[in-house]
């Protein structure tokens, strides 16, 4: 497979994945959300070594004709385009169904008709809800505790249904919480770093007790590359991409403050709290299937790897050119 389409290429993970594919020599087409500013999101400030070396298609994942046009002539599709902010899904759930469920339908329908060789569909650890057992394997029950997670469960099932019904070569990749340079300030790690970087001594957060399995973005990108090249053996499979390291939000915040050498106070901001039954209390990934089926292993796993990933992320945020892009004085949903 030589020509690869990435949907959501203008976003956090998608931009890193686009850069890596270009570096690996793939003919790369970046599907970005059309807008009147002609902005390509993070690809506008991509690494100099890949600038101008990929094709850009501006469109909307919700439009089946545009998606089909973008996919023509491609060998594989890495489907990352989605709405992912959980708080926003509470008051605008309709857009999540249109983007995440119907957008995925557009991708797999075109893949079926165009005989695409591989579709890697992006799921999320949020589909598991609060862990019923740990580490979480791919057999864990699914529970939609937010409109966002419910829409991703629907998207996953649409993707799988095209494999089971039409033998469309779909692999469902399920990354746990990815972090790193370029991540939106709606996520907890950029929220903490950006507030500290702007000399705030009182840091506003939501719940501190839930635990997460954080993935550095390079590891998540590596998971996509491994899935892309996995052949038929992963068709119809769901595969976790996680570090197999669990840490609470509170301990994460303390570790970031330690690395940044700042003494700060954490306060609970009520607007950042999820509704009680919607909070996912615990996430901890089993990555045994990814190791055995993909030959993938995290390079930033365990506590030492997490610290190294945070150091890289903090360094990026401390660059004034990067930090200036973030509105740290407001709550970003």
For the chain, domain boundaries: 3-178+215-241
Statement: residue 328 has pLDDT above 80: no
Task: Please say whether the beta carbons of 219 and 20 come within 8 A.
Answer: no
| pTM of this structure | 0.97
135: confidence class by pLDDT, cuts 50, 70, 90: very high
Percent of the chain with pLDDT over 90: 89
Four-point Cα dihedral 199, 205, 208, 214, nearest 10:
-80
Q: Give CATH superfamily name and number for 3-178+215-241.
A: NAD(P)-binding Rossmann-like Domain (3.40.50.720)
304-311 mean pLDDT: 98
pLDDT, position 177: 98
207-217 confidence digits (pLDDT tens): 999 999 999 99
When pLDDT is cut at 50, 70 and 90, the band that residue 199 belongs to is: confident
3-state helix, strand, coil in the chain (%, to 5): 45, 15, 40
What integer pLDDT is reported at residue 327 of this predicted model?
84
Calculate the average pLDDT of the chain: 96
Rg for the chain, CA atoms, rounded: 19
């Amino acid at each position: 497979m030589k020509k690869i389409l990435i949907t959501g290429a203008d976003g956090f993970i998608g931009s890193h994945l686009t850069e890596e594919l270009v570096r690996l020599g793939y003919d790369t087409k970046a599907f970005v959300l059309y807008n009147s500013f002609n902005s390509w999101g993070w690809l506008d400030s991509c690494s100099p070594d890949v600038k101008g070396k990929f094709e850009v298609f501006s469109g909307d994942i919700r439009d089946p004709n545009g998606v089909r046009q973008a996919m023509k002539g491609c060998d594989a599709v890495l489907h990352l385009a989605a709405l992912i902010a959980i708080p926003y899904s509470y008051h605008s759930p309709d857009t999540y169904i249109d983007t995440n469920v119907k957008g995925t339908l557009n991708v797999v329908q075109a893949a079926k008709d165009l005989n695409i060789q591989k579709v890697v569909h992006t799921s999320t650890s949020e589909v598991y809800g609060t862990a019923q057992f740990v580490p979480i394997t791919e057999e864990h029950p699914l529970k939609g505790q937010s409109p966002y997670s419910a829409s991703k469960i629907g998207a996953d099932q649409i993707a799988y249904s095209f494999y089971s019904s039409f033998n469309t070569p779909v692999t469902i990749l399920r990354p746990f919480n990815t972090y790193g340079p370029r991540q939106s300030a709606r996520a907890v790690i950029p929220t903490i770093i950006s507030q500290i970087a702007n000399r705030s001594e009182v840091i506003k957060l939501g719940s501190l007790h839930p635990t997460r399995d954080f993935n550095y973005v390079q590891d998540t990108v590596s998971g996509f590359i491994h899935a892309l090249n996995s052949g038929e053996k992963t068709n119809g499979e769901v595969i976790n991409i996680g570090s197999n390291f669990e840490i609470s939000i509170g301990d994460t915040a303390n570790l970031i403050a330690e690395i940044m050498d700042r003494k700060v106070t954490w306060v609970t901001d009520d607007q950042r709290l999820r509704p009680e039954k919607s909070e996912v209390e615990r996430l901890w990934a089993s990555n045994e299937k990814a190791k055995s089926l993909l030959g993938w292993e995290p390079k930033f796993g365990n506590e030492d790897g997490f610290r190294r990933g945070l150091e890289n992320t903090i360094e990026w945020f401390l660059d004034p050119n990067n930090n200036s892009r973030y509105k740290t004085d407001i709550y970003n949903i």
